[in-house]
Amino acid sequence: MTRALLRLRELILSGEFAPGERMSELRLVKRLGVSRTPLRLALAALEHEGLLRSLNSRGYVVRQFTKADISDAIELRGVLEGTAARFAAERGPTPEAIRPLHEISDTIAQAVHRADYESFERFVDLNERFHAGILRMAESPVLERALEGIISLPFASPSAFVMAQAVLPESREILITAHRHHLGLIDAIERGQGGRADSLGREHALLALANLEVVLDHPEVLERMPGASLLAVPETPGGRGGRLERAQPEEPEPVPNVELERV
């Protein structure tokens, strides 16, 4: 089931399936090399994550996302990450627990002003480790599960726009601000300043909204990002996608030969 889930998520985010496309069980069984039971469990899990939409007893279709959807997801991530930072500050992290954050931040400081692609690839790993470190210090499995649900959506994870920052000067400036936020989060957590840590965590997540606006002005960059094919981008007179707008709910066509039933 895990193999089917990971592979299906990868295929959806890479654009293998169009928004509104029905997920045919027979074709997926052959393509993924799994039986129907783990496939159905994987499809149900992806519906729970928000990548698929249920057709009641007729299976699932791929969801479409709007700018409003992405903005909401980013803001919710900020609420959860701010809460994680507050928990970490209030629960008194040990020097051993916070030392890795200092080490990650020191390494980021050396790479954040560089414009080479390798530095940005390294930043993706460092950034994810930084956020995971704060979440670990929050010591809240409930919070961790809630955050996992949010960051599984397109463009909602902390590192969603890092690759755009590798090629867009405007986004690189945002990256430098993000590093300053990291330093502030470490300081607030060390000092036990829960309210300040919460505020910084929320503000830090909102940088993704600024990055979203930058990327929307560069369709050639947007189309290379995972999940871009799921965004509701209307066509402009010149034939290129414009800014995201709120999409209308998909109306699936009748399916005469039902292949998939929900478990």
Element containing residue 60 per DSSP (H, E): strand 60-62
**Domain ranges, residue 131:** 67-222
What pLDDT was estimated at residue 123? 80
CA gap 233, 243 in Å, rounded = 6
Percentage of the chain beyond pLDDT 70 is 85
What is the count of structural domains for the chain? 2
Q: Which of 66-75, 121-130, 141-150, 233-242 is least confident?
A: 233-242
pLDDT digits (tens, 9 = 90+) for 122-158: 888 898 999 999 999 999 999 999 999 898 888 888 8
Cβ neighbours of residue 254 closer than 8 Å, sequence gap 6 or more: none
Confidence of residue 263 (pLDDT cuts 50, 70, 90): very low
Calculate ∠ Cα 197-201-207, nearest 5°. Answer: 145
Answer yes or no: do 81 and 210 share one domain.
yes
Single pTM value for the model: 0.78
In a domain, 10, yes or no: yes
E-strand ranges in 75-216 read none
Residue recorded with tokens 């809240």: 140
| CATH number assigned to the domain comprising residue 52 | 1.10.10.10
Answer yes or no: do 79 and 55 share one domain.
no
Final residue belonging to a domain, choices 11, 32, 62: 62
CA gap 35, 65 in Å, rounded = 30
Answer yes or no: do 111 and 189 share one domain.
yes
Final residue belonging to a domain, choices 62, 85, 104: 62
Confidence of residue 163 (pLDDT cuts 50, 70, 90): low
Average pLDDT, the chain: 84
Residue type, 235: E
Answer yes or no: do 39 and 73 share one domain.
no
pLDDT digits (tens, 9 = 90+) for 21-46: 999 999 999 999 999 999 999 999 99
Ramachandran sector of residue 59 (left: φ over 0; alpha: ψ -120 to 50; beta: rest): left
Answer yes or no: do 19 and 52 share one domain.
yes
| CATH number assigned to the domain comprising residue 81 | 1.20.120.530
E-strand ranges in 123-245 read none
Answer yes or no: do 174 and 94 share one domain.
yes
How is residue 113 written in tokens?
């002003």
